[in-house]
Amino acid sequence: MTESNEEELGLDEAIEQSLKGVRLQDLEPDEDKPREARGLLTGTVVGISGSDVIVELGPRSQGAISIDEFEGSPPAIGAKVRVTIRGKEEDLLLLSVREAKTLAAWDQMEEGSHVKVSFIGVNKGGLEGRIGQISAFMPASQAALHRIDDLSELAGQTLVCSVVEINRERKRVVVSRRAVLEGEAEEARAEGMTRLSPGSVLRGKVVRMESFGAFVDLGHGIEGMVHVSNMSHARVGHPSEKVKVGQEVEVQVLEVSEGGRRIGLGMKQLEADPWLAIAERFPVDTVFTGKVRRLTDFGAFVELIPGVEGLLHVSQLGAGHVRHAKEALKTGQELTLRVTKLDVAAHRVSLSRYDTRGAPLGSEEAADVGVINEVLQQSQGAPLGTNLGDLFKRALKKNG
């Protein structure tokens, strides 16, 4: 069964599928299998006889525990121990502290609690483990956040897992490492979200791209999206023009909505705004050379500098009557234009291919007008006898 099928089934169904043909009782070691327990009792150590620890349970009631059941040195005389009754041999009860620990562990275990599980082997459905003396099973789908192809790499490890099912009658304990990891990831995400507020600047890594923007991993399982319109002041057609997968980028948080499930990021907000200097560089009547970036039915958008475009209306094309800018221009074409209107606050620039007197820029008519303007300026202090005809003659002579 594939991981996707397991996710569709849900946890309960996945557990049942994983446990097909597996008896958790068979995971118990052959020796010292628990016998019929009669509950937990508390006794007092009263002596040691050979390989047995003698425990008094009450008046005229004593039992023996194999000294091998005590880890390290045997208990001191007078020590209190918790035991279960395994049986009886003549007048002496046979007791066990090992089974008592197991029974106590069963009583204390709850679904949802975190326990340390030592994984000792792999079967076709998942991993076999032990919680103290209690056998545990972890389905393959619960071993990690993502599919693990070789579960044997977890064998021999002790991991903190969450108890997802307890069946004392069937002696079945099912655990999940995935549940613990998901909880830790959610806690880390919640902590990471405290750093996110509109205006905060963070570093992240581009993890994937779509036509409309790039997704950035901000750490702690948090992802945000930089829309193409927020990548640069210059026009960006596709995110790949600005970034690549795996690249580290600095971003500004623009919005956090839907409880943190939607995080809007920006990159151009950290760049200098080219519009701030446009009034000084391109005042009205400035003549410049720009490149056509976009064509529409009402005109062409021409780039003044990266990040700033002006509109050349069809009425200002200087090519007679046209219905669509593409009839007279091509994308990428360079044009000599004049700024006719400038509104920095609204981010609007109006352009024209005509000079101030209505002559097409670069034409002979425009050149003549320019020479006449120059002669007029030079002749402002000329004698009153100088007439307009003389000025035009001088202009024509200069232009020739």
> Higher model confidence: residue 5 or residue 116?
116
User: Quick check: 339 pLDDT over 90?
Assistant: yes
User: Quick check: 68 pLDDT over 50?
Assistant: yes
Residues 327 and 339 in one domain: yes
Residues 128 and 11 in one domain: yes
The answer as to whether 192 is a domain residue is no
The answer as to whether 246 is a domain residue is yes
CB 142 within 8 A of CB 164: yes
Residues 348 and 242 in one domain: no
The answer as to whether 394 is a domain residue is yes
Work out whether the CA dihedral 138, 144, 149, 155 comes out positive or negative. negative
Rounded distance between C-alpha atoms, residue 23 and residue 28, angstroms: 10
CA dist 284 → 43, 235, 337, 342, 349 (Å): 101, 24, 11, 7, 9
Residues 216 and 282 in one domain: no
User: Quick check: 314 pLDDT over 50?
Assistant: yes
Residues 343 and 278 in one domain: yes
Residues 152 and 115 in one domain: yes
Considering 237, 270, 303, which residue would you say is the last residue of a domain? 270
Number of domains in the chain: 5
The answer as to whether 206 is a domain residue is yes
Q: 10 pLDDT band (50/70/90 cuts)?
A: low
- Please give the single-letter amino acid code of residue 266: G
Q: pLDDT tens-digit profile of 158-185?
A: 999 999 888 777 777 899 999 999 888 8
Residues 164 and 300 in one domain: no
pLDDT at 227: 95
Residues 76 and 202 in one domain: no
Q: 11 pLDDT band (50/70/90 cuts)?
A: low
- Tokens at residue 269, please? 């907000």
Beta pairing class for 348-352 and 41-49: unpaired
Highest mean pLDDT among 211-215, 296-300, 368-372, 387-391: 211-215
Question: Which H or E element spans position 123?
Answer: strand 114-123
- Tokens at residue 243, please? 């970034």
> Higher model confidence: residue 369 or residue 238?
238
Write down the pTM of the prediction: 0.49
The answer as to whether 34 is a domain residue is no
3-state DSSP assignment of residue 194:
coil
Residues 222 and 206 in one domain: yes
The answer as to whether 375 is a domain residue is yes
pLDDT at 388: 45
- Tokens at residue 127, please? 């991993």
Q: pLDDT above 90 covers what percent of the chain?
A: 30
Residues 287 and 260 in one domain: no
What's 301's domain CATH number?
A: 2.40.50.140
Residues 123 and 99 in one domain: no
Determine the structural domain holding residue 115 and report its residue range. 3-19+110-183
Q: pLDDT tens-digit profile of 348-363?
A: 999 999 988 888 887 6
Residues 281 and 344 in one domain: yes
Q: pLDDT tens-digit profile of 136-159?
A: 899 999 989 888 888 888 988 999
